[in-house]
Structure formats: structure tokens, C-alpha cells
Amino acid sequence: MLSVLLKCLSKVFGALPLNQALALGSALGWFYGAVIRHHRRDATEALQRSLPEKSDDERKRLLNQVYRNLGMNAAEEMRMPTVTTAYLEDYVTWDNEAPLREVLAAGKGALALTAHVGNFDLLCTIAPKFNYPTTIITKVIKNKAINDWWMAARSRFGLKFVPAHNSYRQCLGALRKNEIVAFILDQNMIDTEGLFVDFFGKPACTSPGLAYMSAQSGAAVVPVFMIRLENGHHRVKVMAPILPPPDRKPETISHYTQLYTKIIEDVIREYPDQWIWVHRRWRTVPKTETSIAVSPK
């Protein structure tokens, strides 16, 4: 039943002109945040703590736009099964592809650092269409109907997936093929799988996997973010690459994980209405003053 509903919604959003589909998605996102109020209290507290320089009214408007953006993301995802190459060429602009191409030219693959900024899922989905063979680490959605539909929509242009656990060797294999492995590094981790770094002035438990993989593989890390513009347009922001850590000592891994996290924070500060403040990023609390990196499994 749910799979039928998803297909129907996909047809509805796909049949609408883009501006109408985005307007509907924006309205649904506002309803989700203002009426259903999903995680709104958590997001409000996070904004108060992270952006104290903004007024209450500014943070309220910002948070409403966060929900609207999430609704537009969902609308674009619903349209994905029918998206054409012409749409991608017209609505997605790459700021500067040179750093990514230079890293790939070294033959060791590339590790893309990204976060839940803009339409992050669209970025990963379309990357292979722009001749960037990409593998992402993803969780399986418990509801099989939703998971199957979502994976099919995302893999349409050749995106490959590995599971969130026990996929370290698969990622190294993709890098050996000179492909891209994308890390979304702004998700809360449990304390046995992450280390604590500063994020907006508060310790946030973060995966050390990106730093470990860069050190072991020799692949540089390239920060890549998709920024939502007006009228359904998107800009892919590619930043200067970060050379691999010189070793895998705990203090080195911690230093580089902090470096990656600071890049994410800087991008969020530039586009605060485009990050998922509804995610409980600081849910895991440190038990001690000092946290030690854990080795990937």
C-alpha cells in the first residue's frame, strides 16, 4: 500500500511544473514544522545556543525556512524518477570542479566531505551523471517499501551504496578504482563509535572514519556542498582539497576530524537556513573531559 502511495505522489510531483511542485513542497514543509512541530523545540534550542547573535524573530524566520527547504527537498526527491538530463544541465551549476578533478587525477580516488546542507541528497544522486562515480555510506530505512523506492530513485544515475556498518573495505575498494566516496559528517554518533569535537561551541560526537580512510588510502578530502538558490536552481560548491593525515594516531585523527567539522560549521554559518537544525546533533554527551578516537571496524 505504501509503495503505491509513493508512486502516486511521485507521479503527482513529477507532473506538476517545477515551480508548482516546489511551492507545494514548501507549504508541506511549513506545515510539518509549524503545525506538526517535528523536533521544533530541539531546533529552537540549538539555534539559540549556536547563533546567539541573531534575534528571536530572526531565528524563528530562519527555522521556518529550514522546514520549507526540507519540503522542497522532498518535492525534488519525488520528481527524481522522471528527472531529465536537460533539467540537471539547466538547474545545477558547479562552482569550481577543478579541485575534484585534480584529486582524481592523482589516481587514489577522492573522499567527498559533505553535510545535510541544501539538497544534499540530490547532490549525491546526480554526481555520477556529471561523470563522478560515487559511493555513499547510507542507512537502511526500516520500512522496506520506503527504502526500496528511495534507493531506486537515488540509484537512477548510477549512485552506489554501502551499509553504515562494516563497509570500510568496500569504501577502500571504491577508492582503489579511482572513484569518489562521500561522507556526510554532520550526524550524531554514539560514544563507542565516535569522538568528540567542537561544533558551534559544544562537543559533538563525530565519526572518525573519514580521517582514518584518508590516512590509510592516501586519498585527499574534498569538501563539496549543494546550495539551494532561487527558483529551483542549485549551486555545487567545491572547496580546496585537504591532504591526508600523516598518520593514524588518535590525536591526529581528532585534529583532522575537528578540521572537517569546522568546514561544515563555516558553511552552515554562511547558509544557516539550509542546514537540518531539526537533527539532534549534540544528543550524545561526553562522559569524560577527554575523548579518544576509535578504530573503524
Res. 291: pLDDT tops 90 = no
How far, in Å, CA of 119 to CA of 74, rounded? 9
Residues 197-243: tens digit of each pLDDT: 999 999 999 999 999 999 999 999 999 999 999 999 999 999 999 99
pLDDT band at 277 (very low <50, low <70, confident <90, very high): very high
Residue 222, classed as helix, strand or coil, is strand
Residue ranges of the alpha helices (H) in the chain?
2-15, 18-34, 40-50, 56-79, 85-91, 98-105, 120-126, 144-154, 168-176, 209-217, 250-270
At which residue does the C-alpha cell 600523516 appear? Answer: 246
The letter for the amino acid at 30 is W
Return all residues near 281 (Cβ < 8 A) that are at least 6 apart.
Answer: 46, 186, 187, 188, 199, 204
CATH topology of domain 86-274: Glycerol-3-phosphate (1)-acyltransferase (3.40.1130)
Residue 157, classified by CB atoms within 10 Å of its CB into exposed (0-12), middle (13-18) or buried (19+), is: middle
pLDDT at 144: 87
Would you say the C-alpha torsion 128, 164, 273, 27 has a positive or negative sign?
Answer: positive
How far, in Å, CA of 159 to CA of 133, rounded? 7
Average pLDDT estimate for 35-42 = 96
pLDDT at 7: 83
pLDDT at 9: 87
Average pLDDT estimate for 79-86 = 90
Residue 273, classified by CB atoms within 10 Å of its CB into exposed (0-12), middle (13-18) or buried (19+), is: middle
- pTM as predicted: 0.94
How far, in Å, CA of 292 to CA of 251, rounded? 8
Residues 108-141: tens digit of each pLDDT: 999 999 999 999 999 999 999 999 999 998 888 8
How far, in Å, CA of 27 to CA of 23, rounded? 6
pLDDT at 95: 92
